[in-house]
Chains A and B, each alone.
Chain A
Amino acid sequence: METAYIEVHNLSKTYSAKNGNVEALKSVTLSIPKNEIFGVIGLSGAGKSTLVRCLNLLEKPDSGEVVIDGKNLLTLGKEQLRLRRQKIGMIFQHFNLLEQQNVLDNVCFPLEIRGIPIKQRKEKALELLQKVGLGDKAEAYPSQLSGGQKQRVAIARVLANEPDILLCDEATSALDPETTKTILNLLKSIYDSMGITIVIITHEMRVIQEICTQVAVLDGGTVQECGSVTEIFKNPKSRAARRLLLMRETEEMSDVG
């Protein structure tokens, strides 16, 4: 197996809620190899979103380590972390585009953060928009786009910084099955054309099946099992994995109907 690029050691995170504490992650250890499309699947409340948000420290874990390319992010200073984040792209369930900026300026935004001159910014952004099939939408505003188109803009935006890691937090969960497929195909073609490690968080087995090579099954804040997608589909060992596979079958039936 290839060497791990992202390593998570004994990661724990507890949220304090009104009715007591919620342990979102309980000492999670996971290693994600370089240049893989790695899936993390679990039902809602399994802790998968917390896990991915810990990978770029949007969420600060209570204990444990997040090691990327040999460096523990938790030991980085504020400025170092900020610069490291520029190379860890993230896309979201609700796209999170700037609603008051047009599509082109949205894609320019990460370049602006890095202080790239305006002319180069626009050239690069247009090139990326063409890449995601939205070359003709540069002047449109997010409110004029469909969900799938918005996610394409978010993908163009995230690629602007040429990240080495792409985190996808339920990136297709707000989209219909057809659009999900096109977004996954886009991610796949990005993966094929540039060396990148993709981490996909989802509750849908078909997303894992479609695109991932390896998968970790998360339940109750712990990793139930982890391995190659084909292996887990063929021979699920944990109850959580079996339940998720069962859900996929019902999903497919409802799609037909």
Chain B
Amino acid sequence: MWDETMIVMLLEGIRDTFYMTFVSTFFGYVIGLPMGIALTLTDKGGITPNRTVYRILDIVINVTRSVPFLILLILVMPLTKLIVGKSYGSTATIVPLTLAAAPLIGRMVESSLKEVSQGVIEAAISMGAKTSTIVFKVLIGEARTSLLVGVTIVLGTVLGYSAMAGVVGGGGLGDIAIRYGYYRYETGVMLVTLIFIVAIVQLMQVVGTFAAKKLDHRNQE
């Protein structure tokens, strides 16, 4: 059972899992970061309050967040086919993963940015800062530790989702676990892939926490 093809398959599984997780998280931030910023700015008490924009974003996020990932995966298959050309494999899984990650990211970014003290924002306004300067330098700059912790959480979640995509031939470690463990009753292979998944999540957590601590100057000794 543990021949070369198996090892190659596992290594490819790890590679595909990393690929799906990181690329989807990246595209998730491309969509979710501006959403989170917009939510923060337009909420009442934000620097450019706008009830309509906030409500629309709020509803879009709530609705998309309520769709279970497995259903989203099937629901967006036509879109996936349109973008990637096929609806299975790791590249195809990136489409639903991104769509699932974006609203989660929007919320995480919103909550991180709202941690920034109102006083610091007001100080920047009193200096005559442009809104863009306040967003990048004050909001993102001051919330960077919290944002980075958010990235770590999102990576873990997206990795979990990517494993779920294995059910429909999504590729990666989850795919292997389901094919061998569920369809062929080879529990050994499934356990090995599981160990890899746990190890990867653990690794990302450690790196993320370390980086967040390194970047935080608020309570230095």
Interface residues of A (CB under 8 A from B): 56, 58, 82-86, 88-90, 92, 94, 96-102, 109-110, 112-114, 141-144, 154, 161, 167
Contacts and interface: CB of A to CB of B under 8 A. Distances in A.
A58 B127 contact: no
B127 A161 contact: yes
11 contacts: A85-B125, A98-B138, A99-B217, A101-B217, A102-B217, A109-B124, A109-B137, A113-B124, A113-B128, A113-B133, A143-B217
Contact of A86 (B122, B128, B218, B219): B128
The DSSP consensus for interface residues of chain B is: helix
Contact of A144 (B128, B130, B138, B220): B220
Q: Give the contact-size bracket for chain B.
A: 20 to 34
Contact of A98 (B120, B122, B130, B145): B120
Nearest to B117: A96
Interface string B194-218: 0000000000000000000001111
A31 B73 CA distance: 66
Interface in B92-142: 117, 119-120, 122-130, 133, 137-138, 141-142
B144 interface: yes
A82 B218 contact: no
Nearest to B218: A99
A143 B219 contact: yes
B122 A100 contact: no
B220 A143 contact: yes
Contacts of A83: 128
Contacts of A142: 217
A88 B123 CA distance: 11
Nearest to B127: A110
A141 B128 CA distance: 23
